[in-house]
Amino acid sequence: MIMTTHLTHPTDLLELPGKTIGTTEWYPITQDRVNRFADATDDHQWIHTDPERAAAGPFGGTIAHGYLTLSLAPKILAEVLEVDNVTAALNYGLNKVRFPSPVPVGAKMRATVTVTSAQQKPAGIEVVFGLTYETEGTARPACIADVVVLYR
């Protein structure tokens, strides 16, 4: 069961740097999801979309695109954090992204979210969330990302 952090105002984020705010449920990474992402991005590299060829490749099967993993950031944040009285929550950017290990198709993945920093800026509350994605049964993270969101 997911524990969602619920805040009544974006300024409440200013009290959270250094705190882990939650871990998501496990998400299944299916070949269909990978293929749909490939279609959306025109990235049809065989290690993602050709199970037969990928079986003989370096990962023993198809793997998710790193950017597919990263693209789940809004879903992840929405699952672990609810902030009331927000006019807008804008994806402001990324400070750092790394993909230390592949996510095999058929695996399950989840993410843990930490508030790295939160600052009052003229445009709103700028929050850097540290997301660590893990693949079930794998020691190394699949993705580590600093995701920046601006709350108004």
Sign of CA dihedral 115, 121, 125, 129: negative
pLDDT of 138 higher than 80 = yes
CATH code assigned at 35: 3.10.129.10
CA angle 137/96/45 to nearest 5° reads 65
**What is d(CA 19, CA 47) in angstroms, rounded to the nearest whole number?**
36
Q: Kindly report the pTM of this predicted structure.
A: 0.95
For the stretch 45-59, pLDDT in tens is 999 999 999 999 999
pLDDT, mean over the chain: 97
pLDDT > 70? residue 20: yes
Q: What is the pLDDT of residues 103-135, one digit of tens each?
A: 999 999 999 999 999 999 999 999 999 999 999
**pLDDT at 1 (0 to 100):** 64
Residue 97 CA to residue 23 CA, distance in Å, equals 19
pLDDT classification of 4: cutoffs 50, 70, 90: confident
Among 21, 17, 123, 13, CA closest to 78: 21
pLDDT tens digit string along 63-119? Answer: 999 999 999 999 999 999 999 999 999 999 999 999 999 999 999 999 999 999 999
* Total domains in the fold of the chain: 1
What's the pLDDT band for 39 if we cut at 50, 70, 90? very high
Q: Which of 16, 125, 135 is nearest to 80 (CA)?
A: 16
Token output for 58 = 């370096």
Structural domain containing residue 50: 5-151
